[in-house]
């Protein structure tokens, strides 16, 4: 219970901070009336991630083919968020890569000569984690950038869904405790119960379409909230399960469902254990994501980006069209003045 209370306080603090920044933004610049979820979809570029491939010497043909497939998936994210792929030959590693390898080598099997992949992801506020690591062949097999759930997420987001509540279901691990099983069922019930209420009672901000609040994509602007479930033992979703369980390991080990609100271009707002989920929390997070996006700086907002092989700019705006700027021309009217040196008069 103490753990749940601490997590809930942290979630509330994040949302409160975001609201505070948004209010401060209203003083500093003209307000943007686009909902947070839509502003994020059109303007927030996904964070880059780094793929580090540890290997011994030259790759054989099969390994090179696997590497090529991985690079193709990475290119599928588009030029601006393709990310970085670093090859590290363990015979001559750089110091930073040597430290990283030493931290995971007990879990790897370099003896067989199989290249080993580490996915370094940005969780915001300067936090970088190993989102996944495994052999190169496993990276390709499970699809570290692509999976059925992520394809469905992108499909719904590009269809105009506001927030998709991703649920990592406990499966058999949650069946041993009747209390935890009840908690998981209650969390799923709360989501469905609140979706209807939220759709009827939350209104889109006024002023959408006015200067500074223009929409740039033809995707319909909707208030639509849906649920997407993943079984924790689904081999095709092992990348996502590993990522989310690493963020909430204690709740995962207890057999709790993990609930993740996803919006924008596959941005996860938070990983919430089933025991923490409440109606007020669902409403607070949804109101935040549906409210006017006065704070336009992505790094000041809570959440982290999922690794998805989607070229968002092309899907949203068409081939060759640039995305809109994060700060509009109208915003720039309120920039802080630049100080110029005036030469002394004669």
Q: What is the CA radius of gyration of the chain?
A: 22
197, part of any domain: yes
- The reply to whether 113 and 251 lie within a common domain is no
Same domain? For 117 and 87 the reply is yes
343 found inside a domain: no
Cβ(184)–Cβ(285) under 8 Å?
Answer: no
Whole-model pTM over 0.85: no
For the stretch 215-272, pLDDT in tens is: 899 999 999 999 999 999 999 999 999 999 989 999 999 999 999 999 999 999 999 9
CATH number for the domain spanning 119: value is 3.40.30
- Average pLDDT of span 150-156: 97
Task: Tell me what the pLDDT averaged over the chain comes to.
Answer: 81
Residue 163 and residue 25 share a domain: yes
Q: Could you tell me whether strands 50-55 and 84-89 are parallel, antiparallel, or unpaired per DSSP bridges?
A: parallel
Lookup: tokens for 173: 């691990």
Q: Is residue 342 part of a domain?
A: no
Task: Categorize the per-residue pLDDT at 337 as very low, low, confident or very high, splitting at 50, 70 and 90.
Answer: very low
Closest CA to 231 of 262, 255, 265, 266: 255
Judge if 111 and 184 occupy the same domain. no
Enter the tokens of residue 61: 């043909």
| Under 8 Å between Cβ of 276 and 12 | no
For the chain, the domain total comes to: 2
Instruction: Give domain status of residue 334, yes or no.
Output: no
Q: Would 236 be classed as within a structural domain?
A: yes
How many CB atoms sit inside 10 A of residue 35's CB?
Answer: 23
Instruction: Assess whether 60 and 199 both reside in one domain.
Output: no
Which position has the token pair 């008069």? 345
Q: Which of 234, 102, 77 is nearest to 154 (CA)?
A: 77
Give all strands (DSSP E) within 111-257, no chain letters: 116-124, 127-135, 163-169, 225-231
Tell me: do 238 and 283 sit in the same domain: yes
**Who has greater pLDDT, 178 or 175?**
178
Same domain membership, residue 283 and residue 162: yes
Residues, the chain, total?
Answer: 346
Do 324 and 229 lie in a common domain? yes
Please tell me the distance from the alpha carbon of residue 265 to that of residue 47, in angstroms, as a whole number.
10
Residues 211 and 71 in one domain: no
Residue at 88 is within a domain: yes
Give percent above pLDDT 70 in the chain: 77
Q: Is the pLDDT at 82 greater than 80, yes or no? A: no
The domain boundary, picked from 117, 142, 167, lies at: 142
Per-residue pLDDT reduced to its tens digit, 20-32: 444 334 333 445 8
Q: Which residues pair with 261 in a beta bridge?
A: 165
Regarding whether 208 and 64 lie in a shared domain, the answer is no
Distance CA 50, CA 83 (A): 6
Q: Which segments within the chain are labelled E, that is strand?
A: 50-55, 84-89, 116-124, 127-135, 163-169, 225-231, 258-263, 267-268, 272-273, 304-305
Q: Is 17 left (phi over 0), alpha (psi -120 to 50) or beta?
A: alpha
| Same domain membership, residue 157 and residue 289 | yes
Residues 209 and 314 in one domain: yes
Range of the domain at 39: 2-45+148-329
pLDDT of residue 81: 55
Rounded to whole angstroms, the maximal C-alpha distance in the chain is 88
Q: Which of 20, 51, 33 has the alpha carbon at shortest distance from 239?
A: 51
| Rounded to 5°, angle at Cα 302 from 298 and 211 | 40
User: Does residue 335 surpass a pLDDT of 60?
Assistant: no
pLDDT band at 330 (very low <50, low <70, confident <90, very high): very low
User: Which of 92, 121, 142 is the endpoint of a domain?
Assistant: 142
Last residue of a domain, one of 92, 111, 142: 142
């Amino acid at each position: 219970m103490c753990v749940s209370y601490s997590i809930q306080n942290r979630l509330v603090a994040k949302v409160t901070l975001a609201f505070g920044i948004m209010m401060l933004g209203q003083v500093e610049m003209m307000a943007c009336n686009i909902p947070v979820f839509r502003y994020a979809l059109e303007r927030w570029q996904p964070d880059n991630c780094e793929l580090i491939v540890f290997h011994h010497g030259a790759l054989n043909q099969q390994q090179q083919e696997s590497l090529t497939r991985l690079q193709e998936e990475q290119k599928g994210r588009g030029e601006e968020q393709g990310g970085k792929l670093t090859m590290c030959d363990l015979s001559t590693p750089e110091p930073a890569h040597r430290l990283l390898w030493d931290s995971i080598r007990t879990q790897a099997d370099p003896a067989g000569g199989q290249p080993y992949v580490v996915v370094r992801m940005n969780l915001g506020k300067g936090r970088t984690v190993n989102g996944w690591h495994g052999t190169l062949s496993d990276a390709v097999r499970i699809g570290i950038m692509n999976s059925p759930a992520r394809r469905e997420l992108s499909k719904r987001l590009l269809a105009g869904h506001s927030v998709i509540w991703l649920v990592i279901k406990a499966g058999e691990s949650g069946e041993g405790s009747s209390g935890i099983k009840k908690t998981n069922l209650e969390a799923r019930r709360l989501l469905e119960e609140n979706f209807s209420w939220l759709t009827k009672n939350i209104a889109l901000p006024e002023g959408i379409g006015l200067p500074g609040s223009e929409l740039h994509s033809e995707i319909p602007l909707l208030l639509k909230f849906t649920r997407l479930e993943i079984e924790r033992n689904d081999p095709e979703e092992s990348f996502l399960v590993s990522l989310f369980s690493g963020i909430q390991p204690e709740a995962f080990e207890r057999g709790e469902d993990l609930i993740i609100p996803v919006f924008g271009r596959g941005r996860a707002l938070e990983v919430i254990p089933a025991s923490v989920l409440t109606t007020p929390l669902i409403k607070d997070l949804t109101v935040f994501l549906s409210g006017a996006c006065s704070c336009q700086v992505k790094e000041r907002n809570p959440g982290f980006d999922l690794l998805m092989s989607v070229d968002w700019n092309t899907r949203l705006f068409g081939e060759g069209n640039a995305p809109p700027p994060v700060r509009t021309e109208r915003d720039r009217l309120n920039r802080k003045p630049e100080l110029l040196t005036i030469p002394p008069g004669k």
